[in-house]
Every structure is written in structure tokens, then in C-alpha cells.
Amino acid sequence: MFCTSCGADVSGLNYCGKCGAKVKIELPATPDLDLVLVGNQLTIGPVYACIKILPHNEQTVRVLVAGDEEAKSGIQFTTRDGSPFLSEKIPGVTFRRYNEVEFYDDGSVTINGVFLPLQKRLDITIYLPTNAALAIEDLCLAKLIEMGDFSNFTLSMSGATDVTAGNFNFLSARMSGSGNLKLGESRSSMSVSIAGSGDVKGAKVNGDFLEIQIAGSGDVKIRGGSVNRVSVSIAGSGDVSLSMSARSSSFSIMGSGDISLDHSDTKPVKSIMGSGDIEVGNW
């Protein structure tokens, strides 16, 4: 993906690193499938696709699919536990309790020893309500999912899929596995929970609170903002770097993880068990 203003490579970015322009998510060619179900929650299961997720003002989940004819015939858009569920029946692939997935630089993938060439990858655009919940299961074969701006959003990620998202009013993110999350600005509050090695990078958090919980080696980096309250808990080797300010702050480390915060109006509450370190710029 390239910047429409200066032509720089902006793959996986919300803003161009060269000229600063906001990256526009390009829609795929005219879709061959247009599927709609009522709801504001979506779970994405086994799908080999390039996926873009955008907001709309309907209380429905709309899925537009374009690409290889055989691959499209395997698309299944149904309900599971009362909510929309998107999956793909992939010829020759048997899914197990523990699956081996390897992504390649050209976009192709191997799943449990079965090679899927780039030509079999679908282009999928999904429209969700501005207040929505999205669950990405560990069988999802999208290396990167790009998202637009949403209001109040709940995100659950498992597996190796990376997500690049826009701005939110409020975001609650729960991550397990190795998938990474890149965010724009959270204008109200944000809660992040990591169980695994996935990393979170955010532009800003402004509003009431920022809550971070890490169990494992995942890292969190926030580049700006100001909130009333910051709370960080680390069990493991994960690091948290907050280039921002807070009125009050509390930190807990069990292990070798490190925490840094630029500024806290009041004296930070600290608890350390292990070799971890907590640094607050003005204390």
C-alpha cells in the first residue's frame, strides 16, 4: 500500500511516515459476494484473505468478497452463538487443536503442511456498526487486518494475525498469541490485556483511564496523551513505555518487565517482585 499524497510505502501504518498524511484504506474491486447479517458482533474464523474493516451506521454486519472462484465458494457466513461468524472451507486443509501456520513475504501461507498460493487469497471488506465487537480466532489466515475509525470497540485477538486500526473513542483489547496491534488515537479511555508475545503500539490515549495487563512477553508503547488514571500490571518480561501524563498512577511488576511513564501528578503507587524496574519522569 502506498501513500496517495507522496507515494511512500505505508503498509501497516495509519499515517504516512514521510508526509504525515492519513492513510486511506482502499476498497477491493467490485465484490462478487455481498452478505449481510443483523448484529454488532463478528467472529472471524479460518479465512485466507486480505481483510479491511470499516464502520457504517447500520446495526448489521456486511461482508463483501472478491477473488478466486474456488476460494469464494468456500465462504461461510452464518451465526454462531447468536452472532455473525465468518469462515472459509479451504480444500485440503484439516484444522487441528494446535495448528502450524507460516506466513511468507509474498502473502502466501502454509497451514498444517498445505501451501496456499497468493492467487487463492480473497479480498474481503467488512462493515461493522461504529459500536461493535470483533473476535479474531487463531485459525484466521489473514496476516494483517486493517481497520478504520470506530466509536466504542471491543477487540479480541488470538493467533498470529496483526491488526492495524484507526481512532477510537473507547477501546477494550484482549490479545493472546503473537499477533500485534497498531492503533491511532483513543479519545476517551483504553483497556489492554495481553497473554502472550503480541505487542501494542498506540499514537495517543486521552480521557479517563488507561489500563494495561500483561502476562508474558508482550510490550505496550503509547506515544502521547493525558488521562486521569494509569494502571499497569505485568507478570513476566513484558515492557510498557508511556510517553504521556496522568493525574494518578499505579504499577505492579512480577518478573523482569519494565515500566516507564513521563509524568504523574501524584506520587505513583509501585509494587515490584523480581528484577523489573519502574520509572516515572517527575518522581
- With a cut of 80, say whether residue 279 has pLDDT above it: yes
Query: Average pLDDT, whole number, for the chain?
Result: 90
d(CA 70, CA 163): 27
Task: Report the percentage of the chain scoring pLDDT > 90.
Answer: 79
pLDDT at 13: 56
- pLDDT category at 32 given cuts 50, 70, 90 is confident
All domains of the chain in start order, with CATH: 33-166 (2.160.20.120), 175-283 (2.160.20.120)
- With a cut of 60, say whether residue 68 has pLDDT above it: yes
pLDDT, tens digit, for every residue of 202-252?
Answer: 999 999 999 999 999 999 999 999 999 999 999 999 999 999 999 999 999
**Arithmetic mean of pLDDT, 182-187:** 93
Which distant-in-sequence residues (6+ apart) come within 8 Å of 73 by Cβ?
Answer: none
What φ, ψ does residue 72 adopt, rounded to 5°? -60, -35
In this prediction the pTM is 0.87
- pLDDT category at 101 given cuts 50, 70, 90 is confident
d(CA 127, CA 55): 5
pLDDT at 26: 55
Angle at 147 between CA 140 and CA 160, to 5 degrees: 30
pLDDT at 94: 87
Asked whether the beta carbons of 62 and 56 are under 8 A apart, the reply is yes
